[in-house]
Amino acid sequence: MKAVPRERRRAMAKDNAMLKLRGMGCASCANSIEEAIRSVPGVSECQVNFGAEQ
């Protein structure tokens, strides 16, 4: 068994969020939104679904 310091455990934890997006006119809009969200500090992954508006 390995002990991991509490501070590191918090840094390793992942939170997920699902957002409803409105106003996307095309797949290019979805790409722009993905890029913008990925640029937020702490965000490691982002997927935008144009068809589902999510």
Give mean pLDDT in consecutive 10-residue pieces for the chain, a chain of 54 residues.
58 75 82 88 84 73
Answer yes or no: is 49 within a domain. Answer: yes
Element (H, E) at 34: helix 27-38
48: exposed, middle or buried (Cβ count in 10 Å: 0-12, 13-18, 19+): buried
- The Cα 15–Cα 35 span in angstroms is 19
Answer yes or no: is 11 within a domain. Answer: no
Q: Domains in the chain: how many in total?
A: 1
CATH number, domain with residue 46 = 3.30.70.100
Domain containing 48 equals: 16-54
- Give φ, ψ of 29 to 5 degrees: -60, -45
Answer yes or no: is 39 within a domain. Answer: yes
Answer yes or no: is 10 within a domain. Answer: no
Helix (H, G, I), strand (E, B) or coil at 26: coil
Answer yes or no: is 42 within a domain. Answer: yes
The model's pTM is 0.62
- The Cα 15–Cα 51 span in angstroms is 24
